[in-house]
Amino acid sequence: MKNEYLLLTPGPLSTSETVREAMLKDWCTWDDEYNKDVVEVIRSKLVKLATQQDGYTSVLMQGSGTASVEATIGSTIDNNGKLLVVDNGAYGARIAQIADYLNIPCHVVSPGETSQPHLNEVETALASDTAITHVAIVHCETTTGMLNPIEAIAALAKQHNKTVILDAMSSFGGIPMDIGELGIDFMISSANKCIQGVPGFGFVIAKQDELEKCKGRARSLSLDLYDQWHCMEANHGKWRFTSPTHTVRAFYQALLELEQEGGIDARHQRYKTNQQTLVEGMRKLGFKPLLSDELHSPIITSFHSPMSDAYEFKRFYAQLKEHGFVIYPGKVSNADCFRIGNIGEVYPEDIQRLIQAVSKSMYWNDNVTAA
C-alpha cells in the first residue's frame, strides 16, 4: 500500500493509506448499505461543508471533473440563455469550449493567464448584454495557481440577477468559503482534489430551487444533472447508471479524515504552510514564481524554468521522481515554466524534503553534482 513517490500535483494527488484501503471491498449499487449509508451521507456532508445556509442540495456525477462541469453547463442553461465566462487559464477556456460544443452563446472575458479579471470589464459586459443569463468562473486556476476574486465576481453577477456557476474543482475542501453567503447557485468539484479522494466522480452543490428549474434542459443523457439528482432523491442515493463504487467508498473515508484533521480551516492552514515553505525554499535555490505572491493560491504554484540551455523539464522531472517526488509540467502559453502542487496527503516536512531533492537535481548548475 506504500507509494514510491508523492504526487505534487493538483489531482490526482497523494492519498492516505486508509483511503486506498477503503477500496478493497466490493459494493452492490442497489444495496442500502452503499446507497443510504455511504452515498447519502456523502451528499449531506458535502452540503454542510459548502454552506451554513438552507436550500442547498448535492448530486454526484460519474466521470472526471470536466464531466461535472459539462453536465452543469449543459443542464442549467436553456435554449434562450447566454453564458459569460472568465477565462484566465486553461480551465476557464475549457468552460468556453464546452459552451461552444453545446451551441450555447458565450461572452468571454480574457484578462490573460497571469492576471485576475478586471471587474469593470465584467460589469460592462453584464450591463450592456442583457442576453447573458449565467456567469461562470474558476476559483483556483491551476494553469498558474491563480486564485480568482470570486466574491467580487459573484456580487456583480447577482447585482444583475445572473445565475452563478463556480468551478471550485481545485479549491473546495482546501479553502474556506460559504457558497450560500457568496450567492453561488452551482458549485462544481471533484473527488480527487482537496477532499483527498481518488478519481472517478465529480459533484455539484446547488441551490435546490435552481436545480429544479433544470428539468428537461440537458443536452446529454448521461450528463443530465437534474435527472441524476432526481434519481438520487427518489431512490435514497441510487445513481441512474453504474456508480464508481470503490471510488465513492474511498471518498467517504476521505471525508472522515478531513473531519479528523479539523475540517477545511485546518486543511487550508496545512496547504498554506506547504505553499509558503515551497516558495521560500525554491527562491533560495534561485527559482522565481510565475505570479506575484498576492495572486498565489495554496493549491499549486508555477515557477519559471531555469535560464539554461542545459535545462530540460523531462530530465528534471525524472530526477525528482527518482528522489520520490512527481511534479507537473507548465501549462502557460507565453511562459516556460513548471508547476508544483501543495495539496493531498502532503505535509511541510515533505516540502522540505522536496527542496533538498530539487537541490540535488539541478544538473544544469555547474556547481551542483547531479544525483
- Binding-site members are 339
- Burial class of residue 130, CB neighbours in 10 A (0-12, 13-18, 19+): exposed
> What secondary structure letter does DSSP report for 294?
G
> What secondary structure letter does DSSP report for 111?
-
User: What are the DSSP calls for 307-369, one per residue?
Assistant: S-TT--HHHHHHHHHHTTEE-EE---TTS-EEEEE--SS--HHHHHHHHHHHHHT-TTSTTS-
Contacting residues for 246 by C-beta, under 8 A, at least 6 apart? 22, 23, 26, 27, 200
**Helices 119-128/150-159 angle, 10° precision:** 20
Question: Residues within the annotated binding site for substrate?
Answer: 339
- Burial class of residue 213, CB neighbours in 10 A (0-12, 13-18, 19+): middle
Contacting residues for 77 by C-beta, under 8 A, at least 6 apart? 83, 104, 133, 134, 217
Q: Cell for 146?
A: 491563480
Closest by Cα among 15, 7, 3, 9 to 246:
15
Asked if 358 contacts 285 with a C-beta cutoff of 8 angstroms, the reply is: yes
